[in-house]
Amino acid sequence: MSAPCLEIEGLSATLANGVRVLRSVSLTVEPGEVRALVGESGAGKSMIGKAVLGVLPPSIRVVEGRIALEGTELGKLAPRASRALIGARTALIPQDPLTALNPSRRIGPQMTDRLVKILGWDGTKADQRIRKLLDDVRIREPDRVLRSYPHELSGGMRQRVLIAAAFAAEPRLIVADEPTTALDVTVQKQILRLIVELQREHGTAILFVTHDLGVVAKISQKVTVLYAGKVVEQADTAALFASPQHPYTRALMAATPRYTDPMASLRPVDEAVLAGLSAEIATADRNWKPNARGSGHD
Amino acid sequence: MILQRTLTRLLTMIATLFGVAVVVFVVIRVAPGDPISMMLPPGASQADIDRLRALYGLDKSLVEQFVIWLTGVVHGDFGTSISLRQNVLGLVLGRLPATLELSIFALLIALAVGLPLAVLGARERGTAVEAGIDVANGVALSIPDFLWGLVLILLFGVLMPVFEISGRVSPQLDLPFTTNFYLFESIVRLRFDLTANLLGHMFMPALALALPLAAIIAQLLKQSLKELLTLDYMVLARVKGFSETQVILREGLKNAALPTLTLVGVQFTFLIGGTVIVERLFSYEGLGNMAIDAVVNRDLPLIQGIVLVFALLFVVINLVVDMAYALLNPRLRHG
């Protein structure tokens, strides 16, 4: 068996004041697999995605643990080499399509710049590739879209553009950071379907960050449930929905509205469960000593 | 739509210039000091004084004088300088190129210094490098241009004489120029010996004018860049594999330039205002130097002419800034 597409082992991160925001997170994403990373806002899901892509804000420090892309450990590479590897093997589908495109540059160059400037593709080849992907995401007027500025496109169109751009360089791993959260409900479904379609066609592994268990059920094969920067439960998606093991997971599921009787089924996460988890985490934090050797990342 | 906007713009410009004309015309006549008394020896007879007043039209009412002058201006006649006895328009246009060349050269220096510092400061945010840039900016900004002029004269004119401290060009040189844009013409005629001589004269006054502006550009642009650096499209560019410098230059600079541009436009007009004293300091034969003489001599027509030309310059700069703004910001282009 070859190395997993992404392997995170014992990853801990703190704020500048020493408060832990990630607590020994370990997870793997196998080639071609979609792993959902689910949790409430503030649980650290997006932070894990950013750590993988090497774009954590300077206020957050990785203090221990390792991240490996296809067997290559990022922390052991020089910053330039690690950035080159991330640029070549991964891509990001960002949360908010309204702010993820540069307002003063046309769509075309924003989609092809990685191919041409980083991967050294020929301009014509890059253009053909982008047009093929725009067709895949059902954009019918590629000429107009490529010439447009971001403000001339709708939110859904922009997210399609960003999805097409993410798949363009055939990355092995895509981090999708809540890619449908900022969109209308009607558009959300279309966008999810497009991501799944392209993922199957290209065999790309996806780390899919979301707070929406409904999305998890539709899109992923594996799930990691996160609470306060700590992995609570990991399982096959089907198994998790069939029989959630951890009380927090069960509580989270109970808090998700059902179509049949939305109000009756809707319950906030049980406070006893949260209190238990918080106590557990506090004890762990007291006994935790950051591992000096693991501070190589930045 | 575009026609209407251009027309509105043009009318605003004319109104601005008219306002400036009224203010300067009234102020220099109300302020104490009489040009006639500057021209006649002490003890001149009242009859002589009256005759001279009549000759320059100073015996008429303020409104009458203004109408006469404005009618002239509209027809391209700015009157005759009292102290130099020459056509004001000719005098002003003769000096304007020197001041324009000096100001634009100063602007180029400010950009050449300010832009790289801003990019470097944004890239090295939070480090000693950024702190150093902040300190340098503070110093450059808190010392006014004329004081920088004195400092530069002391440093590079006296202690280490590398640059000329006086004039626009060495007087013994034979100048083949047909216009007064000496620097520009010397380059076009490929007379680089003259270009070097002109730059040697121009460098210190230009640098004195440029330093405060360079600091403003560096500080403001750095700040705008730092605000942009956390935005999603910047993060996306980093994920794509671009280096921090590339991210700043490719994704940040154009967007950060917008707020900077507006201020640079305003500051550039201040810089042109600064030429008045700095040109004097370096005996540079420009419009500013002439303005001081005109004020000292109470040369009313010349002061009016110079001020009006300065005002026109400011209005044009504002127009250029607005056009550049629309060019940089695609959201303003159609609308």
Q: Note whether A53 contacts B239, CB cutoff 8 Å.
A: yes
* B194 has a pLDDT exceeding 90: yes
Q: Does B327 lie at the interface with A, CB-CB under 8 angstroms?
A: no
Closest Cβ opposite residue A94 in set B236, B241, B242: B236
Residue A295 has what pLDDT? 43
Rounded Cα distance between A148 and A157, Å, is 11
Residue B331 has what pLDDT? 76
B324 pLDDT band, cuts 50/70/90, is confident
* B102 has a pLDDT exceeding 90: yes
Alpha carbon of B259: minimum distance to chain A alpha carbons (Å): 14
Residue A297 has what pLDDT? 45
Chain A residues close to B230, C-beta within 8 Å: 57
Closest-CA residue in chain A for B328?
A104
Q: Note whether A118 contacts B242, CB cutoff 8 Å.
A: yes
The C-alpha angle with vertex A42 and arms to A38 and A48, in degrees rounded to 5, equals: 60
Pick the range with the lowest mean pLDDT from B2-6, B14-18, B19-23: B2-6
Closest-CA residue in chain A for B126?
A58
Sign, CA torsion A93/A94/A95/A96: negative
- Could you tell me the two tokens for A175? 């981090």
Question: How, if at all, do strands A60-69 and A6-15 pair?
Answer: antiparallel
Least Cα distance to A92 among A50, A57, A121, A60 occurs for: A50
Closest Cβ opposite residue A99 in set B232, B251, B329: B232
Rounded Cα distance between A265 and A255, Å, is 8
Residue A298 has what pLDDT? 43
Q: What is the mean pLDDT of residues B29-55?
A: 81
Q: Note whether A94 contacts B331, CB cutoff 8 Å.
A: no
The C-alpha angle with vertex A166 and arms to A11 and A228, in degrees rounded to 5, equals: 30
Average pLDDT, chain B: 90
- Could you tell me the two tokens for B132? 């150093």
Interface mutation vs chain A, best among B236, B325, B327, most A CBs within 10 Å: B236
Alpha carbon of B255: minimum distance to chain A alpha carbons (Å): 7
Q: What is the mean pLDDT of residues B293-307?
A: 92
Residue A291 has what pLDDT? 58
Residue type (1 letter), B199: L
Q: Does A60 lie at the interface with B, CB-CB under 8 angstroms?
A: no
Closest Cβ opposite residue A100 in set B232, B241, B243: B232
Closest-CA residue in chain B for A54?
B239
Chain A residues close to B231, C-beta within 8 Å: 99
Closest Cβ opposite residue B232 in set A86, A94, A149: A94
Residue B148 has what pLDDT? 95
Residue B149 has what pLDDT? 94
Alpha carbon of A13: minimum distance to chain B alpha carbons (Å): 19
Chain B, 213 to 252: residues with Cβ < 8 Å from chain A are 230-233, 235-236, 238-243, 250-251
ipTM: 0.84
Pick the range with the lowest mean pLDDT from A12-26, B21-35, B71-85: B21-35
Residue A260 has what pLDDT? 60
Closest-CA residue in chain A for B327?
A104
Closest-CA residue in chain A for B233?
A100
Chain B residues close to A96, C-beta within 8 Å: 232
Rounded Cα distance between A205 and B68, Å, is 82
Q: Note whether B240 contacts A118, CB cutoff 8 Å.
A: yes
Q: Does B334 lie at the interface with A, CB-CB under 8 angstroms?
A: no
More confident residue, B329 or B186: B186
Please write the tens of the pLDDT for every residue from B250-284: 999 988 988 888 888 889 999 999 999 999 999 99
Least Cα distance to B278 among B89, B28, B98 occurs for: B98
Please write the tens of the pLDDT for every residue from A156-172: 899 999 999 999 989 99
Closest-CA residue in chain A for B255?
A104
CB B276 within 8 A of CB B293: no
Distance of CA A281 to the CA centre of its chain: 24
* B224 has a pLDDT exceeding 50: yes
B217 pLDDT band, cuts 50/70/90, is very high
Q: Note whether A91 contacts B251, CB cutoff 8 Å.
A: no
Q: What is the mean pLDDT of residues B5-12?
A: 86
Q: Note whether A117 contacts B254, CB cutoff 8 Å.
A: no
B32 CB neighbour count, 10 Å cutoff: 5
Rounded Cα distance between B39 and B59, Å, is 16
Residue A267 has what pLDDT? 65
Name the stretches of chain A with pLDDT < 70: 1, 257-267, 290-298
Task: Report phi then psi at B74, rounded to 5.
Answer: -60, -35
Q: Does A55 lie at the interface with B, CB-CB under 8 angstroms?
A: yes
Alpha carbon of B1: minimum distance to chain A alpha carbons (Å): 21
CB A40 within 8 A of CB A225: no
Closest Cβ opposite residue A83 in set B230, B236, B241: B241
Residue B54 has what pLDDT? 85
Chain A residues close to B250, C-beta within 8 Å: 113
Residue B52 has what pLDDT? 83
Instruction: Scan for tokens 């009787």, then name that residue.
Output: A261
Alpha carbon of A234: minimum distance to chain B alpha carbons (Å): 27
Alpha carbon of A171: minimum distance to chain B alpha carbons (Å): 11
CB B302 within 8 A of CB B84: yes
Alpha carbon of B220: minimum distance to chain A alpha carbons (Å): 19
Rounded Cα distance between B202 and B102, Å, is 7
Q: A–B: how many Cβ contacts below 8 A? A: 67
Collapse the DSSP code of B27 into the 3-class scheme (helix H, G, I; strand E, B; otherwise coil) and give the result: helix
Alpha carbon of A114: minimum distance to chain B alpha carbons (Å): 6
